[in-house]
Structure formats: structure tokens, C-alpha cells
Structure 1
Amino acid sequence: MLPAIETRFRVRYAETDQMGVVYYSNYLVWMEVGRVEWCKQNGCSYREMEQEDGILLAVAECQCRYLAPARFDDEILVKTWVERAHARLVTFAYAIELAGAERKLATGSTRHIILDREFRRTRLPRKYFPMFGLRG
């Protein structure tokens, strides 16, 4: 499997709730940001997979464990890696941290089934096997 990648950004004011902390669903958005960047840094964009190859990575399951709150203007570090991969299923894992403090804010995972343009289950094309640590 390929190593984890890191994505950094600052918490935007719009991402916080009335209590002044990041609203819980934004952590799932941050996981998506990390996942898209993981694909891009490892040689393939989501756009290429979808438009050129007709492959969709549909979220079948997501999990997030909240450990500590993030607040407006905090610098966030999202670490993303592939935890498990098969030709028909890919699981990404995430560690969301407060950058510079090495304090975990959340951990999570997303499981993706591979679909074609008609939303039927299919397999990853072989050209993606190395990217996900699969053998041909």
C-alpha cells in the first residue's frame, strides 16, 4: 500500500456551530478532501476515474470517532491512507489532527464500492491496481 498523505487547511468560520466548535458533519467533508488529494498525489484524480474510465467510488459506509473539538482558524492536518483494498472495495482511513500540536481531533474510515456509470457494481480497472496496492 502507498503511504499516508497529509492535507492542511484552516477551519473556516462557516464550519463552526453555535457552540463555537466545528459542526460534526464537516469532519466527513474533510475526509473527502483528504481522499481526493490522496488519489491526486498517487497519480489519478477522481475526475479522471469518473470521466475517462467510468468508475465511481461510492461511499457505502463511513465512521468517525470524535476525540476533541476544532475551532475557527485552527490549522487542521488530515492524514489519509488506504487501509484495505480489493478489486471491488476500497477502505480509506483518516486521522484528523490539530496541526503543530500533534493532538488527534478525530479518526475515521470510509468504505467505497466500485460502480460503473449505471451504478452497477464492477471492478477497478487493472491500471489502478498498483495505486491501491493490488496485484494483477
Structure 2
Amino acid sequence: MIDVVEEKRVGVARVRVRYAETDQMGVVYHSNYLIWFEVGRVELIRSMGLNYKRMEVEEGRGIAVVDVHVRYRAPARYDDELVVETRLLAARGAVIKFGYKVLRVEDGTLLCEGQTVHVVVGKDMKKQSLPPKYAARFAAYLDPRSSDVQ
């Protein structure tokens, strides 16, 4: 069993594999990892003291996925408890990059790792800058010298 140490610069989300998320071979269907990446990403943003939903509603901006890289290392199975570790890797202008690791809690096995690249867009789906409050918080998270981390 792994001990999950919540570092300030790593978002941690727990999920349990549901039966519907497995395929005929009894393992998690590959696209479910992308859903768990999203869960991790939203939790990381929340841990920063920010709210993604509020950014969409009040600021009129979203973060569209434009690139995904995933490396599957070992299968997850029904009822496994998993930890999704999410890190902010880069945020510059309208581009944001996140990194992920999915581990099985029981034995600490790395099941999957990946990265997503996002572009900040308005409701018209045209590229826009990250709202100032979000840009400042992301910059603080990326600066290892910063103490402005929630």
C-alpha cells in the first residue's frame, strides 16, 4: 500500500475503478484514463484556491485540450483504488501543460502516465489569455522559490 504524500505542487485525486470502466478482458478501458486526468486537473486547480467552473462562467474562458500523450504501463482492474497525481508543467500565454501519474494504492504500481496541453479559449473557441488571477497563481506554482502556493 502506498502512502500518498500530498506535496504542495502536486494535486492528488483518488478514484475507484467501477465495473463499467472495464472491458471484456477485465481491465480498465484506455479512454477512462483521460477522464481521470481531468479529475486530477480540476482537483489540482481547486488545490490552488481557484475554481475552473467559475473561470468558465465568470471569466468566459475555458481550457481546451489540444494534445494528449499517454503511456500505459500496467492494467487497472475493477475495484482498484487509484491515485491520480497531477502537476502543472508549464503555463505561458494561452498555453497550459499538465503532467499525470496514475498509481494503484494497494501496491504503488505506476499504471499510466501522461501529459495534456491546453489552449485557453473564449466562448467563441478563439484563443485568449489566461485570466490574470489564474495566470499569477499558475506562475507561483511553477516558481520553486515562491511561497504563494496554497
Q: Give the drift of 1:131.
A: 2.1
What are the ranges of 5 or more consecutive residues in structure 1 without an aligned counterpart? none
Q: Which amino acid aligns with 1:97?
A: L
| Cross-structure match for 1:39 | 45
| Cross-structure match for 1:98 | 104
Q: Give the drift of 1:44.
A: 1.5
Instruction: Choose the corresponding residue for 1:123, options 111, 129, 139.
Output: 129
| Cross-structure match for 2:61 | 55
Q: How many residues align?
A: 134
CA distance in 1: counterparts of 2:78 and 2:107, whole angstroms: 16
TM-score normalised per structure 1: 0.94
CA distance in 2: counterparts of 1:102 and 1:133, whole angstroms: 30
| Cross-structure match for 1:6 | 12
CA distance in 1: counterparts of 2:66 and 2:125, whole angstroms: 12
Task: Confirm or deny: 8 A CA contact 2:11 2:41 kept in the other structure.
Answer: no
| Cross-structure match for 1:80 | 86
Q: Does 1:71 align with 2:81?
A: no
Q: CA RMSD in A?
A: 1.4
Runs (4+) of structure 1 exceeding 4 A deviation are: none
Instruction: Choose the corresponding residue for 2:116, options 107, 110, 113.
Output: 110
Q: Give the drift of 1:42.
A: 1.0
Identity of aligned residues (%): 43
Aligned runs of 1:8-23 on 2, under 5 Å?
8-23=14-29
